[in-house]
Amino acid sequence: MPHANALYGPLDPAPDAGYENPPPRMGFFTDTSVCIGCKACEVACKEWNGVPESGLDLLGMSYDNTGALTANSWRHVAFVEQPRSVGWATPAFQEQPDGPSVSPLTAAVGARTGTDTGTDPGLTPGSPGAAARMSGGPEFLGMPGGQPPGRGSGAEGRTDFRWLMMSDVCKHCTHAACLDVCPTGSLFRTEFGTVVVQEDICNGCGYCISACPYGVIDQRKDDGRAWKCTLCYDRLGAGMTPACAQACPTESIQYGELDELRERAAARVAKLHEHGVPEARLYGHDPNDGVGGDGAFFLLLDEPEVYGLPPDPIVTTRDLPAMWKRAGLAALTMAVATAVAFLGGRP
Amino acid sequence: MGVRRWVERWPLYRQLTGTDPLGRGAAAKSARSLTLTARTDTADSVARSVCPYCAVGCGQRVYVADGQVTQIEGDPDSPISRGRLCPKGAASKSLVTSPLRQTTVRYRRPYGTEWEDLDLDTAMNMIADRVLAARDETWEDRDDEGRPLNRTLGISSLGGATLDNEENYLIKKLFTAMGALQIENQARI
Amino acid sequence: MIVIQGSNMAEAHPVGFQWVMEAKRRGAKVFHVDPRFTRTSAVADAYLPIRAGTDIALLGGVIRYILDNELDFREYVVAYTNAATIVTGEYRDTEDLHGLFSGFTEENASYDQSSWQYEGAEQNIPPRDTETQRETAAGLEHESHGAPVGGDTQRDETLQHPRCVYQILKRHFSRYTPQMVERVCGIPQDKFLELAQAWTANSGRERTSMLVYSVGWTQHSVGVQYIRAGAIIQLLLGNMGRPGGGVMALRGHASIQGSTDVPTLFNLLPGYLPMPHHADHPTFDEWVDSIRHPGQKGFWGNARAYGVNLLKAYWGDAATADNDYCYGYMPRMTGDHGTYQQVLNMIDGKIKGYFLLGQNPAVGSAHGRAQRLGMANLDWLVVRDLFMIESATFWKRAPEIETGEIVPEECRTEVFFLPAASHVEKEGSFTQTQRLLQWREKAVEPPGDARSELWFFYHLGRIIRERLARSTRARDRALLDLAWNYPTHGPHAEPSAESVLYEINGYDVASGRPLSSYTEMKDDGTTAGGCWIYTGVYADGVNQAARRKPGSEQSLVALEWGWAWPSNRRILYNRASADPDGRPWSERKKYVWWDAEKAEWTGYDVPDFEKNKAPSYRPPPNSSGVAGIAGDDPFILQGDGKGWLYAPSGVLDGPLPTHYEPVESPVRNPLYRQQANPARKVYTHPVNTLNPSPPQEHSDVFPYVFTVSRLTEHHTAGAMSRNVSPLAELQPEMFVEVSPELAALRGLSHLGWAHLVTSRAAVQAKVLVTDRVTPLRVDGRIIHQVWLPYHFGYEGLVTGDSANDLFGITLDPNVLIQESKVGTCDVRPGRRPRGQDLLDLVVDYRRRSGDLVHRYPPMVTTDVADSSSDQEA
């Protein structure tokens, strides 16, 4: 029988998905405090998974020209320029003759450049206000005024600065709404507890896209199917590390058994707190959160919204049992559809 | 394939009879997922290589199947890079398999407005002719005071910082023997 | 502690940067000094914004801070450096001469170095003509050894003698105060002190600090002196030859170290032997003596053997003692034959043919327009590359087509494009940035007509030799006698790279046995070897560069991964990791030490010292060669065995680093009347126009400072990234980074267009307005800096104007590397004009900044007083 927490609450997802004696749940811990924004993860992912080009546009979102997680970008490095200092560093522009920060303004301009990828994954593009708040940080006080440049005494100018970078990826939720709503059985839970789209099954219905609380999964314009990070399912089967984590020069992306990663992450946060970085916090690590914890979780240096992450994601199918009848019907339809597809596919 | 095994491959059958009644995991595996392997595992050969971009010298493993490069990734054995690569190093497969790579000789004749094709052997012979002619036309035997010069200043060369030591050695050796002094590379830049 | 300056390590060397992050995790402090806040700054503990081109002022400030507070590692400094050595009384410092040193000659803008010598050594060294040294980039020879110094030096180990190096240093840097650092560099005093305090606090017996630089230091008209300044700090603090210390030069191309060791450079032969000069080296003996300096101490005493071995490797059986090993075949230099001189000669029609081997000067070299005009004026051009690069298509796609300066139907250059094999399609060795050779295995055959350079040059040589087979001309003997018999294999007759490596390594002529060390090289023709510093890479007939014992199965030093020159040493001068008595300075920093019981040097690395020379060894009087190096002299390739705080010779523009302004600067040098490096290499040529700088008039026409560098996502001139889709999409357009203040001042908007103008070119770019760039307060003025990536050109998946088009050509005098990290410009909103309008715009700027007759900035400006900046009144 399904686990009582099959749709919400703490759960080890692989046994729940029918795997007897599965391997430990595997995942990513992305420590943004050591990310250098090199984008090796984006490239290594594309090389291994054959992900196509996602556009040749200068977005003006700091050094981010990828824009969002999409069907054609399964890793996305976000860059956030902020007029505040990171805990470990001396203020970057102390005593420089500069005016107020322009980071919120440029972020707002950049936000308008978000590319149309077919569906609307990630944060809704074209939301300048949100982008400006992200760059301003929690103390955002509105758009900068027209301060005459370089003519002030410097005292009123920006002194603090930090450049946050984060490699975002599919969260491989414990309770994956994309999987729950998939009518074809294309999305499935692997024995490693990860969530994978099966490209030979997906029929491009698109239900998963609106279901994802993080806006990760996306349809590819030319083939209509849904695509996202597989946590390199094929590599995991061969005992290898996912391509992004293998490439990551600074161990910002760490791959391993989720339980061990959670311990490591807690220790890292404690160490950063000890070393004067009180802003360090974890995101997506908690099995009691709205998605039952993420298989890919993060150490952040600011509020999640600053990185374009939802502050309190909740699995969109939490209320599924209440709608069981409808769902049951859908499941039957799904079963028939799958059977038909399967029969049609017989050689 | 027998009917029974075929039926067993049917996800709905597996869902109804197996441990995955909601059909979200084991029972939902597609034919592709069931047979999925890492292509590094099925490669015909692996070459131990070094990244061609910057000078850190990261180790690379180059996987080959059917004579084609199928994957290039970091070599975990390297004490320099420990298996890691930057975006450029990670793009090495795309570099060597890029559809934009030129694979034939191209020739632009003097005052020409378009490229033409040229056979490699012909090109080699034409280049040899031109090297010998330039050398003869610009040969300097001795300076004003009769001291030896043994050289041509009619030939220049630039490049070598992404080439192998062995290649640079032959380049310098041949050019020196022909008296061509003006041999330079990126290290000057 | 790790100081990164002149380098954007996280962006340009991300995988190497893992070790910085590893150190940081263990508590090391990371400082980044850079004109703009980069991805390196983002993870650093402190970031110091600096005005481009003023690094010596900052480093000089640190030196002064160390000396003033007596924070040097005194025991190390006295024993291992030349701090105690006494300099001749003839020496005059920049303190006395408004920024010049004694010995300057205005006619040829060069120094006579005799007044810089050590006391008592003046007679030992004939004053060399430093103009010739500049023309032939003689400084490069010192990559593997120091400059000569003769006889026994006089020392005052109390460091009190007024003419000892320590006191000279103290006086020379006395004006580099924190206030002056702020005034010159725009770095607030607090920030400067934070750096100086951390650097000194983290150096000494128990701790070491590392200094990292890249071409942010070398590409200046005073580039070598930047590195000298860094080396002085590291010597004063006892950080050289010790683990966690050193000066780390991060090189930017896979085998750029290799291409200097086994050079394709006009002035060098393999192993840093000089290319013969027609006047200095007419005979073999004169050539050899100019390298080994008879009577000198150190390992260069054996230079004759290195020279003979190279010639034997080149000319095989034809090279005999009777014919001076075919020395007479060698071409001779008469002056500067470097790449920039060549390009100007191309424009002047003096050069017939040009080979480009994986190099794209139309984008990657300074003054792109000059590069393209030069290529358009050749008889023939051979381009060997993976991709169709800008340098191959200049005749139809260059910006000069649009301006009418190049007309395809009138351009006679015959172009051969030959596709090259990639790094996985051939085998061979790269030498990475720490002198480590690593062998690559071949994975696949190259596609179509693509071939390796090994193939191309072997077969080109074969064809040429066949053509000349019946020649009786003397000039052809060098080609016909050349040892050119390499075994070939495969369908394309690919020469064996291992057989070439074997020749580079060297072998016993009679038996063919590979040599295992350069100490086995003989000067009698019984051994041959192509590059003495690489001897040992093929020891025991084993390709040592191909060794791949996993790092996890070795110590951190990993001596069994690849092979480092010389003799597989990983840290040079590591004798200095032990104290004068041969004991580790501390248990924490133990690395190489003297084992008294076994009477030998031992440790984690291959000791960089004669294995059995005891610390107590003292050379007999008047000894020379290796015997002249004492048991406590770690810097064995220096003539006196000491680390040089002060360079009595070998550095052409002064024995000590001095802050000079970049050739193009918006400010008058606040430190001295002398504005720019007086010994810099200048090219007066109509194409090479320069922007005026103070004390010249009209420098305000180009009021902004620009600097260029790399992005993580691209590689150099772009061929290997702009043609690769997953990289091209990550940085798809040319852009310029400006501060919010400059954006407001010049009316620039984020993601709008701007163009930059110099007296060479105008270049357009999308604008990124960013807080990462800050204005600086310099000498009471606000200075704005802008930054551009230099990767873009007109070919590839993503294209854009080339930043290098903006630069003129002025070189460092020691190594002839161009100043392409700093220049002045104007910044204007909108796109640049096109066609004739573009030429008119540039001409208009030239007219407003003076006139069209190019007025080169004066070499010497010591007669121009400037009350606002002159501190010497």
User: What are the tens digits of pLDDT across the range C634-671?
Assistant: 998 888 899 999 999 889 999 999 999 999 999 999 99
The answer for C456, left when phi > 0, alpha when psi is -120 to 50, beta otherwise, is alpha
Q: Which of C539, C544, C503 is nearest to C520 (CA)?
A: C539
Chain B residues with CB-CB distance to C811 below 8 A = none
Q: Please determine, for residue A28, whether its predicted confidence score (pLDDT) is greater than 70.
A: yes
Q: What is the pLDDT of residue A117?
A: 58
Backbone angles phi, psi at B182, to 5 degrees: -80, 60
Q: Which H or E run contains C378?
A: none
Q: Quick one: pLDDT band at residue C460, thresholds 50, 70, 90?
A: very high
Range 30-49 of A in CB contact (< 8 A) with C:
34, 36-40, 42-43, 46-47
Q: Hey, is the C-beta of A39 within 8 angstroms of any chain B C-beta?
A: yes
CB contact under 8 Å between C254 and B55, yes or no, is yes
Enumerate neighbours of C (3 or more CB pairs within 8 A): A, B
Range name among A8-12, A318-322, C820-824 with the lowest pLDDT average: A318-322
Q: How confident is the model at residue A341 (pLDDT cuts 50, 70, 90)?
A: very low
Q: How many domains does chain C have?
A: 2
Residue C466 belongs to a domain = no
What is the domain-level CATH number for residue C183? 3.40.228.10
Spell out which residues of chain A touch residue B28, defining contact as CB-CB under 8 Å: 185, 188-189, 198
pLDDT in tens, C545-604: 999 999 999 999 999 999 999 999 999 999 999 999 999 999 999 999 999 999 999 999
Interval C164-193 mean pLDDT: 98
Does the beta-carbon distance from A17 to B11 stay under 8 Å? no
Q: Which residues contact A22 (CB under 8 A, 6 or more apart)?
A: A14, A15, A191, A192, A193
pLDDT digits (tens, 9 = 90+) for C266-322: 999 999 999 999 999 999 999 999 988 887 777 777 899 999 999 999 999 999 999
Contacts of B146 in chain C (CB under 8 A): none
Higher per-residue pLDDT: C602 or C870: C602
B73 touching C, CB under 8 A?
no
Which chain B positions have a beta carbon within 8 Å of A180's beta carbon? 24
Partner-chain residue, chosen from A6, A238, A246, that has the shortest CB–CB distance to B22: A6
pLDDT of C430 strictly over 70: yes
Cross-chain Cβ contact C40/A36 below 8 Å: yes
More confident residue, A129 or C117: C117
With beta carbons under 8 A apart, name residues in chain B contacting C328: 148, 150
Would you call the peptide bond into C270 cis, given omega within 30 degrees of 0 as the criterion?
A: no
pLDDT score of C867 more than 70: no
What rounded mean pLDDT belongs to chain A? Answer: 86
* Mean pLDDT, rounded, of chain C: 95
Pairwise pLDDT comparison (B24 vs C401), residue with the higher score = C401
CA atoms of C241 and C589, how far apart (whole Å): 11
Asked if B100 has any chain A CB less than 8 Å from its own CB, the reply is no
Instruction: Give residue C363's Cα distance to chain centre.
Output: 20
Cβ atoms of residues C299 and C636 within 8 Å: yes
The Cα–Cα gap between C21 and C200 comes to: 21
pLDDT at A137 over 90: no
What mean pLDDT do residues C391-403 have? 98
Per-residue model confidence (pLDDT) at position B160: 83
Q: What is the pLDDT of residues A186-244, one digit of tens each?
A: 999 999 999 999 999 999 999 999 999 999 999 998 899 999 999 999 999 999 999 99
| B70 and B132 co-located in one domain | no
Output DSSP code: residue C600.
Answer: E
Q: Say whether both B85 and B153 belong to one domain.
A: no
Nearest CA in chain C to B65: C444
B110 reaches C (C-beta below 8 A): yes
Provide the chain A residues 134-173 that lie in CB contact (below 8 A) with chain B. Answer: none
Contact C45 A90 (CB under 8 A): yes
Query: Would you place residue C746 in the very low, low, confident or very high pLDDT band (cuts 50, 70, 90)?
Result: very high
Query: What pLDDT, on a 0 to 100 scale, did the predictor assign at position C624?
Result: 80
CATH number of the structural domain spanning residue C716:
2.40.40.20
Count of domains forming chain B? 3
Interface membership of B21 toward A (CB under 8 Å): yes
Mean pLDDT by 10 residues, chain B (189 residues): 56 67 87 94 97 98 98 98 98 98 98 98 98 98 96 96 96 98 96
- pLDDT attached to residue A156: 61
Asked if A38 and B86 come within 8 Å (Cβ–Cβ), the reply is yes
Establish if B111 touches chain C: CB-CB under 8 angstroms: yes
Q: Which residues of B touch A35 (CB under 8 A)?
A: none
Instruction: Determine the average pLDDT of the residues in A45-66.
Output: 96
| Residue C123 in this model has a pLDDT that exceeds 90 | no
What is the β-pairing status of strands A296-300 and A26-31?
A: parallel
CATH number at residue B49: 3.30.200.210
CA-nearest residue to B50 within chain C is C440
pLDDT in tens, C770-782: 999 999 999 999 9
pLDDT (0 to 100) of residue C807: 98
> Are B90 and B157 within one domain?
no
Test A180 with B24 for CB contact under 8 angstroms: yes
Which residues from B are below 8 Å from A333, CB to CB? none
Instruction: Assess whether B11 and B78 both reside in one domain.
Output: no
C203 falls within a domain = yes
Would you state the pLDDT for residue A153? 44
Tell which of C204, C223, C249 closes a domain.
C249
B141 occurs within a structural domain: yes
Q: Where is pLDDT greater, at C35 or A124?
A: C35
3-state SS track over chain A: CCCCCCCCCCCCHHHHCCCCCCCCCEEEEEEHHHCCCCCHHHHHHHHHHCCCCCCCCCCCECCECCCCCECCECEEEEEEEECCCCCCCCCCCCCCCCCCCCHHHHHHHHHCCCCCCCCCCCCCCCCHHHHHHHHHCCCCCCCCCCCCCCCCCCCCCCCCCEEEEEEEECCCECCCHHHHHCCCCCEEECCCCCEEECCCCCCCCCHHHHHCCCCCCEECCCCCCEECCCCCHHHHHCCCCCHHHHHCCCCCEEEEEHHHHHHHHHHHHHHHHHCCCCCCEEECCCCCCCCCCECEEEEECCCHHHHCCCCCCCCCCCCHHHHHHHHHHHHHHHHHHHHHHHHHCCC
Question: What percent of chain C is modeled with pLDDT above 90?
Answer: 91
What integer pLDDT is reported at residue A136 of this predicted model? 80
Q: Are residues B123 and B53 in the same domain?
A: no
* Phi, psi at C559, each rounded to 5°: -70, -15
In a domain, B40, yes or no: no
* Chain B residues closer than 8 Å to C132 by CB: none
Chain B touched by A186 (CB under 8 Å): yes
What pLDDT, on the 0 to 100 scale, is given for residue A124?
53
Does a structural domain hold residue B101?
Answer: no
Q: Which of B6, B25, B90 sits opposite A247 (nearest CB)?
A: B90
Task: State the residue range of the domain holding C692.
Answer: 681-848
> Is A38 in Cβ contact with B40 (below 8 Å)?
no
Nearest CA-CA partner of C525 in C327, C274, C317, C285 = C317
Q: Chain A closest CA to B155's CA: distance in Å? A: 40
* Range C671-680 average pLDDT: 97
Q: List binding-site positions of A.
A: 35, 38, 41, 45, 170, 173, 178, 182, 202, 205, 208, 212, 229, 232, 244, 248
Q: Write down the pLDDT at residue A5.
A: 83
Question: What span, in angstroms and rounded, lies between the C-alpha atoms of C690 and C809?
Answer: 8
**Rounded distance, CA C721 to CA C360, Å?**
13
Q: Residue C216 domain-assigned?
A: yes
The answer to whether residue C114 sits within a structural domain is yes
C869 pLDDT tier (thresholds 50, 70, 90): very low
Tell me what pLDDT residue B2 has: 56
Task: Give me the pLDDT at residue B5, please.
Answer: 60
Confidence band (pLDDT; 50, 70, 90) for A7?
A: confident
What residues make up the domain containing B61? Answer: 45-96
- C511-531: average pLDDT: 97
> Residue C819: what pLDDT?
98
Rounded to whole angstroms, the Cα distance separating A277 from A88 reads 6
**Buried b / exposed e along A196-233 (16+ C-beta atoms within 10 A):** bbbbebbeebbbbbebbbbbbbbbbeeeebbbbbbbbb
Domain presence at residue C268:
no
CATH number of A13-139+157-316: 3.30.70.20
Same domain, B151 and B169: yes
Look at residue C40 and tell me whether its pLDDT is greater than 80.
yes
pLDDT-derived band at A320 (thresholds 50, 70, 90) equals low
Beta bridge partners of C578: C584
pLDDT in tens, C355-382: 999 999 999 999 999 999 999 999 999 9
pLDDT at C321: 97
Nearest to A38 among C14, C750, C766 (CB): C14
**pLDDT, tens digit, 9 for 90 and up, residues A148-176:** 444 444 446 899 999 999 999 999 999 99
Q: Which of B48, B67, B157 sits opposite C548 (nearest CB)?
A: B48
Instruction: Tokens for C96, please give them.
Output: 């006395």
The count of other CB atoms within 10 Å of the CB of residue B94 is 21
Residue of C774, C792, C798, C799 best to disrupt the A interface, most CBs of A under 10 A: C774
- Chain A: give the shortest CA distance to residue C694, in Å: 22
Across the A/C interface, how many CB contacts are shorter than 8 Å? 178
Q: Does B16 touch chain C (CB under 8 A)?
A: no
**A8 touching B, CB under 8 A?**
no
pLDDT at C870: 45
| Residue B129 falls inside a structural domain | yes
CA distance A269 to C479: 67
Which of C382, C453, C727 is opposite residue B171, by nearest beta carbon? C453
Residue that is written with structure tokens 């100086």 in the block: C196
Contact partners of B by the rule of 3+ C-beta pairs under 8 A?
A: A, C
Confidence (pLDDT) at A333: 54
Do A207 and A181 form a contact (C-beta atoms < 8 A)?
yes
